[in-house]
Amino acid sequence: MNNKPSDAVEREIQQETRLTEKATKLAAVYDRNKHDHPPYLFHAWKIFFICEITGGAARTSYETTAVEFFPLDALPELSTGRATAAQIRRMYEHQRHPDLPTEFD
């Protein structure tokens, strides 16, 4: 078993959505405390990868109740402890422009 962050994100996506994918880019490493997240007891770094879907079919799992894609102008209510709307928009730019450099705080 590999312990690379890219392996972890690929495994989590597969477990939660049943899609298979390949992490293609480390887009950002953000200090949670420097972004618009709600207060949290512990310090954390948020690691964002750009992934390419390689197979599978989107469906729920024991960890999810729905699997959907949303346009940027119609995002559902977010769990801002995980990701903010601004971060999602920024990752969309990374997906559209793979030559953008990795961002970090």
SS3 label, residue 40: coil
All structural domains of the chain with their residue ranges: 5-104
For residue 26, give the amino acid letter: L
The whole-angstrom separation of Cα 94 and Cα 65 is: 28
Sheet (strand 19-31) strand order? 45-56, 19-31, 103-104
pLDDT of residue 1: 61
Q: Per CATH, the architecture of 5-104 is what?
A: Alpha-Beta Complex (3.90)
pLDDT of residue 63: 86
pLDDT of residue 25: 98
**Averages of pLDDT over each 10 residues, the chain, 105 residues:** 88 94 97 91 95 95 90 93 95 97 96
- Burial status of residue 32 (CB atoms within 10 A of its CB: 0-12, 13-18, 19 or more): middle
Cβ contact 21:5 at 8 Å: no
Report pTM: 0.89
The whole-angstrom separation of Cα 15 and Cα 3 is: 16
